[in-house]
Structure formats: C-alpha cells, structure tokens
C-alpha cells in the first residue's frame, strides 16, 4: 500500500462494461422485437484494474487502440462511472479528454473560457485574474470573441489546454488530444507539463508516442484488452508494448496467410548467438569488446536472400544494424543450415540495454522471416559521459591566451 498522505489516485478492482446495441434503426428494432437479447452484446473495457498514483508522479498510459487507456482516464477523472470497484482521488482535477469537450459551439471563446473554468472549480474572480494569461498561452488572439463553432481543431485544443493548465490543478489528465496541435504548441504544452513536474503536481498522460512518454513520464502503465500488463519502468513498459505489437502482427500474418507468397518459408531464422572476445555473452559487455553475432538460418527453398541483425534502444530507436547486402556478401542458395557470423570490433555503445532482432528478406526487401526480440545486450554505463555511444574522454583546463 502507498503512503495514504501522499496518495492522489487510488483504484481498486475497477471494471467497466459497455453494452453494445445493434438495433439502432427502426427496422432493426422491429427485427429484434421478440428477442432483444440478440441485439445486445457486452464489452469489458476495463477488467479489475488496481493502481495507486502518488503526488508528483507523471504517469504514461500506453497500449494498443482499444486497450482501455481513454476509458481508464475518464474513470479517474470521474467522467464515467465504473461497473465495479472503487475510485478515489484528491485535489482539483483538470481533464483534457476529448476535443472540444465542455465547449458550447454557439458561445464565444471568452464565454467558453469562463464556463470551462467554472467546471474545473474556479470562481469568476479567479478566472478574471488569469484570463489574459489564458488568451496569451492559447494564441487565439482576436478570435477569443468569435463563436467556437468557427474554430479549427487546433484552436479548440489550444484554448482547452490553456484553461486547464491555468486552473491551478493538483491532478492533470491529458488524452491524445495534444496530437492535434501544431509542433510549436506541442512544445509549449510539454514545457508547461515539465513546469508542473517541477512544482510537484501529478500528471496522467495518454499518448501513442513512445518518445513523448519516455521524455516526460516517470512511470508507465501498459494496458492490453482492459488489463494492466505492466506498471513501472518506462523503458520496460515501452518494450512490453512493442512486444504486443509484434505479437498482433504475427497473429495477423497467421490468420491471413503469409505476407510474402513468393518466398513463403524459404528461409528460417533459428537463433542468434552473441559472443564477446570469443566468450558467449552472459552479463554486461565491456566497452571496447569485439562482438560476434552469429545467425543460424535454414535454407528450405533455393532463393536469393539477405540476412542481418538490428540493435534497438528500449524505446525502439535503431542504434545499429548491418546485413549481408551492405557487406556485399551473398548467403548460400543451396538447401541446408548455415551460420552467418557478423564481426563488430571495439563496440562503444553507451546504452545500458539494447534489444537484438534478426531477420531474412528477399533481395527486393520482402520479409521472409523475423526473429524479433531475439535477446538483449547490456553494456557497462559510461562513467563520465552519456549518449548512444561512449569514448575514453578526458578534459584539460589551461589559462586562455
């Protein structure tokens, strides 16, 4: 259990069920009149979700489309009720959940500022005090006196976010709506979120951008089909998310049949082995080590093919890749099992962990086989610097001329 005095959000065994109706038209209602049960189906958006969020944490909610992220955010914000379980939260909540939510299209931007501020618990005097700051932050300018039904989607987002961040919230809930704004406004929003972090406010952010989550979040919660499958380290959470994407891709390929009919099953990648200075890697790799990546592959059908490996950061950034085509080597066409060894001398990666993948393609780039997440490599951290690579750096101080 978390320290209750520091607790901002507490969910216990929260589930949310939606009933989907098929009889939307008069014809369908007549068709299902005698058996209304056939026109309904249940969908569980959340299943027994329990979590605590402490003051000052910035939590990223990530997951596939339909995983329950936005539903969970609305439950936390009190926008929708749970089917079962309990939700507790403390402090003033500002929520940016849907584009234009809480805006009346026939009222001006100014009128909607006061309405939204009142919904967030602000008095008229409090809104008066920050009104100019809201208009300046949003960049709406003279359009503040125009009916919001004439606003673009970007103007909606800018004004809504400006009101939310000037309401002095203890808890800020932000859905994917920020993706609608342009790049300069997104930077302004991220800077405001970082300012909130320095002030010790609590933020829950839904985003499809792994880079954005890694940039601002101190904790990641991964949802899959309404269930929490990871809660903790951001990098590990993004890895779990990407594994889920790969799982879905493989299932889709299995259901539809092979995506590459001309080279179906021609090559099978069986394994990848990594050695450092001739010894199989079983711990952190020392800087300067000579690595050998050995791909074991089986040629089932004669075909011209390319093989290689990729090293990615925990966030999916490609740090290094190499293949036989780039090295101007043609793997054998004859049926049999082969080992293709790539030598990478004097590695100097600065990342603490890199994810290893290997694969085979046709010379035209069509995927034949993939071995995603074949393993990982840990590297000793740079004691004096930081970044993707590391060097034996030194420093010298001398009087200037």
Per-residue pLDDT tens digits of the chain, which is 401 residues long = 455 778 999 999 999 998 876 655 666 566 655 665 555 678 899 999 999 999 999 999 988 888 889 899 999 988 889 999 999 998 888 887 766 667 888 899 999 999 988 888 889 999 999 999 999 988 888 899 999 888 887 888 888 888 888 888 899 898 876 666 677 777 888 888 889 999 999 999 988 777 778 878 889 999 998 999 999 988 888 878 877 776 665 566 555 544 444 457 899 999 999 999 889 998 889 888 999 999 999 999 999 999 999 998 766 778 899 999 999 999 999 999 999 999 999 999 886 788 899 999 998 888 899 888 788 888 887 777 777 888 888 889 999 97
pLDDT of 35: 62
Half-sphere exposure of 178 (CA within 13 A, CB side): 26
CA distances from 11 to 76, 182, 218, 222, 258 (A): 8, 34, 19, 15, 43
pLDDT of 260: 43
Model confidence, pTM: 0.66
pLDDT of 192: 86
Report the run of H or E that residue 127 belongs to, with start and end.
helix 124-138
Selection from 163, 168, 188, 167 nearest residue 178 by Cα: 188
Superfamily of domain 261-378: abc- transporter (atp binding component) like domain (2.70.50.60)
pLDDT of 122: 87
pLDDT of 64: 85
Rounded Cα distance between 263 and 215, Å, is 40
- The set of residues, in sequence order, having a beta carbon less than 8 Å from that of 10 and lying 6+ positions away, is 2, 51, 52, 53, 86, 87, 88, 89
Rounded Cα distance between 171 and 54, Å, is 10
pLDDT of 261: 41
Q: Are strands 219-224 and 227-232 parallel, antiparallel or unpaired?
A: antiparallel
Selection from 31, 65, 23 nearest residue 45 by Cα: 65
pLDDT of 158: 84
pLDDT of 258: 41
Looking at 209-315, which runs of residues are DSSP E strands? Answer: 219-224, 227-232, 267-276, 279-280, 291-299, 305-312
Rounded Cα distance between 258 and 196, Å, is 49
Looking at 252-385, which runs of residues are DSSP E strands? Answer: 267-276, 279-280, 291-299, 305-312, 318-323, 336-344, 353-362, 367-378
pLDDT of 257: 45
| Fold held by 56-243 | Rossmann fold (3.40.50)
- Which residues make up the CATH 3.40.50.300 domain(s) of the chain? 56-243
pLDDT of 247: 67
Selection from 12, 91, 104, 20 nearest residue 49 by Cα: 12
Rounded Cα distance between 394 and 267, Å, is 48
pLDDT of 234: 87
What tokens were used for 342? Answer: 């790539």
Residue 367 buriedness (CB in 10 A; 0-12 / 13-18 / 19+): middle
């Amino acid at each position: 259990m978390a320290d209750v005095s520091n607790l901002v959000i507490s969910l216990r065994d929260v589930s949310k069920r939606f009933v989907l109706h098929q009889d939307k038209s008069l014809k369908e209602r007549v068709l299902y009149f005698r058996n209304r049960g056939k026109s309904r189906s249940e969908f569980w958006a959340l299943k027994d979700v329990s979590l605590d969020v402490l003051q000052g944490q910035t939590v990223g909610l990530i997951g596939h489309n339909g995983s329950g992220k936005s539903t969970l955010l609305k439950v936390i914000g009190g926008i929708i009720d749970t089917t079962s379980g309990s939700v507790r939260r403390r402090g003033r909540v500002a929520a940016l959940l849907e584009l234009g939510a809480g805006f009346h299209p026939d009222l001006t931007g100014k009128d909607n500022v006061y309405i939204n501020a009142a919904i967030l618990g602000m008095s008229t005097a409090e809104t008066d005090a920050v009104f100019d700051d809201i208009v300046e932050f949003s960049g709406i300018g003279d359009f503040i006196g125009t009916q919001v039904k004439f606003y673009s989607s970007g103007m909606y987002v800018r004004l809504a976010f400006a009101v939310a961040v000037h309401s002095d919230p203890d808890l800020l809930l932000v859905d994917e709506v920020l993706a609608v704004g342009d790049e300069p406004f997104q930077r302004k929003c991220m800077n405001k979120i970082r300012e909130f972090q320095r002030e010790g406010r609590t933020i829950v952010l839904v985003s499809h951008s792994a880079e954005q989550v890694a940039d601002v979040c101190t904790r990641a919660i991964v949802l899959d089909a309404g269930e929490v499958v990871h809660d903790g380290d951001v990098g590990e959470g993004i890895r779990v998310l990407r594994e889920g994407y790969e799982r879905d891709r493989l299932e889709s390929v299995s259901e539809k049949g092979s995506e590459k009919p001309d080279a179906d099953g021609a090559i099978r990648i069986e394994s990848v082995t990594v050695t450092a200075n001739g010894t199989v890697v079983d711990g952190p790799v020392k800087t300067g080590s000579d690595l050998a990546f050995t791909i074991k592959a089986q040629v089932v059908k004669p075909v011209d093919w390319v093989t290689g490996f990729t090293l990615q950061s925990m966030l999916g950034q490609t740090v290094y890749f190499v293949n036989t085509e780039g090295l101007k080597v043609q793997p054998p066409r004859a049926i049999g099992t082969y080992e293709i060894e790539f030598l990478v001398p004097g590695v100097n990666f600065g990342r603490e962990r890199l994810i290893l993948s290997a694969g085979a393609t046709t010379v035209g780039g069509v995927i034949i086989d993939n071995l995603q997440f074949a393993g990982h490599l840990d590297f000793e951290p740079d004691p004096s610097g930081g970044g993707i690579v590391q060097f034996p750096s030194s420093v010298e101080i001398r009087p200037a001329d």
